[in-house]
Amino acid sequence: MDEIDLAIIEHLKKDARTSFREIARKLKVSPDTIVNRFRMLQKKGIIQGSTVVINPEKIGYKGMVVLMIDAEPEYSTQVLNKLIEIRDIILATKIMGDCDLMVIGVVRDFEHLHDLITKVATTPHVKDIQVSFWVRNMKICPEYFII
């Protein structure tokens, strides 16, 4: 990757709807250069797609929760696959450290938080859960990814 590739990524992180023509104009290269570079970044798996970033507060969620989960080691992948299926979980991943898995979810209120924790806790092979909850500045955006 060179400076043009990085610039393409930066522009698309800010707004994935930015036209290739606009990016080309800003970078002082041809639109074909941007199209070809974009396709190569996709082919290499660097760019995997684009998405809409939703503000959770605007659709009724009042908070986000981080769950640090200990699972029986031989079942961690199975547990992870089950957690990903839970509707209000927006990220689930294996981690290294004090816990085996980390989950980020969105909740509407404390009752919803309780329900989510219960769903996770009753997932087979989950041994322990640590909960962190926040209610302000709920923002997960592509522009936070630093290259």
pLDDT in tens, 36-54: 999 999 999 999 988 777 7
CATH of the domain spanning 3-43: 1.10.10.10
Q: Which helix (H) or strand (E) holds 79?
A: helix 76-84
Q: Where are the beta strands (DSSP E) in 2-144?
A: 63-71, 89-94, 101-107, 126-134
Start and end residues for every CATH 1.10.10.10 domain found in the chain = 3-43
pLDDT for residue 78 is more than 80: yes
CATH 3.30.70.920 correct for 56-134? yes
The residue-averaged pLDDT of 17-44 equals 96
Return the pLDDT at 137: 64
Q: Among residues of the chain, what percentage have pLDDT more than 70?
A: 91
79 versus 140: the higher-pLDDT residue is 79
State how far the alpha carbon of 96 is from the alpha carbons of 40, 70, 73, 101, in Å: 32, 11, 12, 8
pLDDT for residue 67 is more than 90: yes
Q: How confident is the model at residue 2 (pLDDT cuts 50, 70, 90)?
A: very high
